[in-house]
Amino acid sequence: MSRFKLIVLVVLTTILLVFVVQNATAYDVQFLVWKLPISGAALIFASAAVGFLGGVLVGGRISAGGKQIDHPNKPRDA
């Protein structure tokens, strides 16, 4: 990872943590038939984590040109 990317990652993570800590109020979250009280910090952190994982999964499959990346560990069709 380049030094620039590492610095950007640290800055964005710090901003996210400050935002999470400042929004610690409890909220009632309703999903389909379930309703649960959850703190705003946990809700924001979980949303950011899901978004990060989604970006990693999608970003690992698509290159900048929009073509699929051929992974060396993936078996080729015979």
With residue 38 as reference, give the H or E element that holds it: strand 34-39
pLDDT value, residue 29: 84
Q: How confident is the model at residue 21 (pLDDT cuts 50, 70, 90)?
A: confident
Cα–Cα distance measured from residue 69 to residue 66, given in angstroms and rounded to the nearest whole number = 9
Cα–Cα distance measured from residue 36 to residue 44, given in angstroms and rounded to the nearest whole number = 15
* Reported pTM: 0.48
Which sequence spans correspond to the domains of the chain? Answer: 17-61
Beta bridge partners of 36: 29
pLDDT value, residue 34: 87
